[in-house]
Amino acid sequence: MAMTDPVADFLTRIRNAIHASHETVEIPSSSLKAEIARILTEQGYIESFSVHPRADGAFGEVIEVRLKYTDDRRSAISGLVRVSRPGRRTYVDASRIPKVLGGMGTAILTTSRGVMSGHEARIAGVGGEVIAEVW
């Protein structure tokens, strides 16, 4: 079956890697996924990420995400949900950007000015599509 929602796949792979206590997870690359990884890094949910060619020499690149854990092996990410799905898109204007967990979490939006966190979008006064929420 063809994959219809690469962003949901990206989030699920991270979620699964956390449940399995993996240090890193490799995910097929796209510019949108790299931008989501950048925001997760900036907001402190993941240690780092890098984009490199696939190890098996096949076409395309992968994003290697280095997950972040506390000293007692608890993940920095406690929740990760896809908001806007291909079957049901969720758009908001700047005044309706969701506050995740009362501001403790982060909404990730695609806007006309690129991918940004809900906080950045609120400051910039732009709305867009809410692709995910992290806490």
Q: What is the CATH number of the domain that holds 107?
A: 3.30.1490.10
Domain assignment present for residue 90? The answer is yes
Task: Give the percent of the chain with pLDDT over 90.
Answer: 90
At residue 1 the predicted structure's pLDDT band, cuts being 50, 70 and 90, is: low
Give the total number of structural domains in the chain: 2
Residue 117 has pLDDT above 70, yes or no: yes
| Residue 2, pLDDT score | 61
Rounded CA-CA distance 84/78 in Å is 20
Burial of 56 (0-12, 13-18, 19+ CB in 10 A): exposed
Domain assignment present for residue 1? The answer is no
Residues 12-60 have pLDDT tens digits of 999 999 999 999 999 999 999 999 999 999 999 999 999 999 988 888 9
* pTM score over 0.85: yes
Same domain, 19 and 59: yes
| Domain end position, chosen among 67, 95, 115 | 67
Same domain, 107 and 56: no
Rounded CA-CA distance 34/29 in Å is 7
